[in-house]
A and B are shown apart, each in its own frame.
Chain A
């Protein structure tokens, strides 16, 4: 400042002290013409190297001290102010500016006659009102007609693709009627008061979800095959598979006519894997799955085209890419359950396969079949990377013999042996892919962002990866039958 002509000092000082967005054009110009008055920590070294070095030393020390700060292990929770019973008002259409009458705690009024206990306004034995605890107790006291039915229905839905009540979030007038009301009642009752506790539960089994899963999954309904009965018969006549010829009751032929939606569960429904299970299955088959539990979530970021993938976001504060890649190690292979969920940034692999956006909450998912899913399985980097990992695993476990590789790949992806026809077709694919890979010019083959470039010079492995990709994108992998 002292170097400047005296007449400029005041205006420049004023310009410097003005807030950035309040400066007049003249002030901006002044500052531009005289950058030396606006020294910042970043430009200090231009003027005084020693001071800049000092500053850096202090900054490093500050960073060192900050690094020692213990992690605050707080869990965010909301609680009431003790000793004060807050009034709960009905808000007109949810608008807090328009409070209406005060409400007392309670359950659905229609249930008043059938279930025991209420929710008191204030529990005298607790400093707070204790309403939530009271509600939880009421819901689980064994007389509430909805709790157990709703839970068992949801578990059932996740096993069969559809609940006994097809609208899991609405057991009321606008919901669907149960297809098997007696079964729902029995399951709910057995869930709360097990009639015969199986030995694997070691005694008590009330409200045990694992027991419920086992009960459902060992049922005859669940263990049915998904193919229609007449089909099995046709298969055996045609000699297409080894299935034994089963007697076909004349009624079975017409099951698909009588009940085309299979509401009565005359066969197991064919279901597509849900988004998370699909991603996890790919990880499991490729051999990369990390089963580590707990801890902070796996971070997500947008890749260069704006697709959300797992990884650490390295864009700067203005959202510009910095080109930095920070490895998260094996974290990227953890189950989908551990991947961070942000409504504005759904993981592309999951979103494409119908993981809900949770706006509002989703009680039953759809299972769509659309071309973007096929595109993902054909071209997405996650799928291609795991096809490669899968191929490396197969070669590691089965050696270099193509036939042994086919057997191993098949076993891992489909949990069965391939038929002779399938082996033949697959060996042909491998031979063809090897030729095509060999024909490709070297150097041109670097995958964008591929994590294992070594295999680019390995036509056999490339061919095997194409096979592995085909298995991972096949209906036999995507659907549970």
Chain B
């Protein structure tokens, strides 16, 4: 093909798709969401260079249509919360019999530290849960605890990247970006992918946690602020709203499209055009979604919004439910920087972290269930690592802690086709390494994709002359054992 022919076909192609795909702005936010949904069209086969957030069919019938990930940044101690190791009591205070993979070898001890907290069986299923998580214990029949997670890499940043973007290096698209790239969003009035950050600080690797990497910027996560007003600038001054704003936006859209014509293929420019359309609709939709005044006192109590210790995180969990209810595809809630990184003072700081998250997290599952949303919403609770069975910081009982452990740790999942009442996988007798039914970050991603009806090998993005994917040809398996087959 000669160059001119290709460029002209590209240009024509763009104009054709933009007329239907991106659409003229005209009163977009006045249109009912359903009308927009009816407008669905697939991405063009020939040329994959224009993107939108309209809902798309996956490769198979989905079990899940949305996901809420409660990201416990820092690495919750699995052996004190989810993975009881009664054998360890015999060794408590003694030398660890074997080899330990320390992250911080210079400061390690090999003194075994058995969990000071009691475990008990709960629910019909009898999954054992630590006394630190009484609220999780109540919903354990809806929950699958995966006790054999493994990323096997050193340190927080790398393991966060592994779990959130499939690879230990920075710069790749995150899970939420991939899922919205593959499936678009059920809501055209709210961001498809939302990050709810903590009022105190951003998690380790900061904004990279919701980065679109090299996927088009349309698929990056939008932060909803951790305090009021959660989204700024939702209201135009009265005299500039309505018809005047429509006229301004229509003209702006025209300016931007002519500019894009001069810079074809600049996906960021396209994304900004789309972001004006979304912003126009968000003026009413986001305000409604974030207004919790219509929630009953009982619901607020359920999430712990009436108590100072859980109010912030509980509010974010409730917002997550409201967003998913309104068609947002992927929501991730982050605890603050290194909230669960208990190298020291674990006896006081781990219970505190549990008190902050346990009640609202369980409430989210209960609430989704009572609203019939749990069937199609995956809830994930977990951090980027677990912790070692030996003491770190051997400076007195109150000061001791545990070092990182990415070789075996636990997360829990619920809803969206996940089998409830299950404890899956095993670590060794000390909880150091996953030994049976190991679930790597690739397996985790393959399983999530499967539940969303996506084939991880077929959801690809062409770049650098090759097809890139979340799993990127790494060995992976769909963990069918944790999927509810009923």
Q: Which residues of A contact B (CB under 8 A)?
A: 92-93, 95, 97-98, 226-228, 230-231, 233-235, 237-238, 240-241, 248, 250, 253, 256-258, 260-261, 270, 272, 305-307, 348, 352, 354, 357, 359, 366-376, 378-380, 384, 422, 425-426, 429, 432-433, 436-437, 440, 444-445, 447-448, 450, 456, 462, 466-467, 469-471, 473-476, 478-479, 481
Contact = CB atoms under 8 A, between A and B. Distances in A.
Contact of A481 (B238, B252, B263): B263
Given A371-B282, A475-B272, A95 B393 contact: yes
B7 A230 contact: yes
Given A93-B107, A230-B6, A348-B232, A384 B237 contact: yes
6 contacts: A370-B222, A373-B275, A378-B280, A466-B240, A474-B255, A476-B256
B258 A378 contact: no
A426 B247 CA distance: 11
Nearest to B207: A366
Contacts of A93: 104, 107, 343-344, 393
Given A231-B263, A238-B8, A450-B237, 8 more contacts: A93-B393, A257-B465, A260-B464, A357-B201, A368-B217, A371-B278, A374-B279, A425-B251
B261 interface: yes
Q: Which of A258, A352, A374, A433 has the most CB of B within 10 A?
A: A374
Contacts of B238: 444-445
Nearest to A381: B237
Contacts of B282: 371, 375
B269 A475 contact: yes
B3 A253 contact: yes
Contacts of A470: 248, 251-252, 255
B95 interface: no
Contacts of B458: none
Q: Which of A98, A231, A235, A253 has the most CB of B within 10 A?
A: A231
B220 A433 contact: no
B239 A440 contact: yes
Contacts of B117: none
B3 A429 contact: no
Contacts of B279: 371-372, 374-375, 378
Interface in B188-240: 191, 201-202, 206-208, 211, 214, 217-218, 220, 222-223, 227-229, 231-240
B265 interface: yes
Contacts of B248: 378, 429, 433, 466, 469-470
A238 B283 CA distance: 38
B249 interface: yes
B259 interface: yes
B229 A436 contact: no
A227 B255 contact: no
Contact of A369 (B259, B275, B280): B275
Interface in B107-166: 107
The 4 residue pairs across chains A and B that have the minimum distance between CB atoms: A374-B279, A234-B7, A445-B239, A369-B217
Nearest to B258: A422
B4 interface: yes
A436 to B, nearest CB: 5
A228 B264 contact: yes
A270 B227 CA distance: 33
Interface residues of B, number: 76
Contact of A466 (B207, B247, B268): B247
A233 B3 contact: yes
B260 A475 contact: yes
Contact of A436 (B11, B244, B263, B393): B244
A348 B282 CA distance: 19
A379 B276 CA distance: 12
Contacts of A456: 239
Nearest to B191: A371
Given A445-B239, A474-B255, A375 B233 contact: yes
Contacts of A475: 255-256, 259-260, 269, 272-273
B90 interface: no
Q: Which of B231, B240, B269, B393 has the most CB of A within 10 A?
A: B240
Q: Tell me if B's interface is mostly helix, strand, loop or mixed.
A: helix
A415 to B, nearest CB: 14
A346 to B, nearest CB: 11
A231 B260 contact: no
B368 to A, nearest CB: 25
A93 B401 CA distance: 12
Given A370-B275, A429-B247, A444-B239, A235 B262 contact: yes
Q: Which of A237, A354, A379, A445 has the most CB of B within 10 A?
A: A379
B291 to A, nearest CB: 14
Given A231-B264, A433-B247, A440-B239, A250 B3 contact: yes
Contacts of B6: 230, 253
A478 B463 CA distance: 26
Contacts of A359: 201-202, 337
A380 B231 CA distance: 12
Nearest to B1: A253
Given A475-B259, A475-B272, A379 B234 contact: yes
Contact of B276 (A98, A231, A374): A374
A379 B233 contact: yes
Contacts of A440: 239
B22 to A, nearest CB: 14
A440 B238 CA distance: 10
A248 to B, nearest CB: 6
B16 interface: no
B243 interface: yes
Contacts of B223: 370, 372
A306 B225 CA distance: 11
B255 A372 contact: no
B4 A233 contact: yes
B231 A238 contact: no
B343 to A, nearest CB: 6
Contact of B229 (A98, A258, A307, A462): A307
A361 to B, nearest CB: 11
B3 A248 contact: yes
Nearest to A252: B3
B262 A227 contact: yes
A373 B214 CA distance: 20
A371 B395 contact: no
Nearest to B279: A374
A106 to B, nearest CB: 18
A430 B204 CA distance: 48
A440 B3 CA distance: 53
A213 B247 CA distance: 42
A325 B254 CA distance: 39
A357 to B, nearest CB: 7
B234 A260 contact: no
Given A92-B107, A374-B272, A357 B202 contact: yes
A380 B10 CA distance: 37
A270 B207 CA distance: 21
Contacts of B249: 378
A321 B110 CA distance: 57
Nearest to B204: A360
B428 interface: no
Contact of A429 (B235, B251, B265): B251
Nearest to B266: A270
Nearest to A450: B237
Nearest to B268: A369
B417 to A, nearest CB: 30
Contacts of A305: 228-229, 232
A433 B244 contact: yes
A443 to B, nearest CB: 10
Nearest to A382: B233
Q: Which of A237, A467, A473 has the most CB of B within 10 A?
A: A473
B289 interface: no
Contacts of B222: 370-372
B436 interface: no
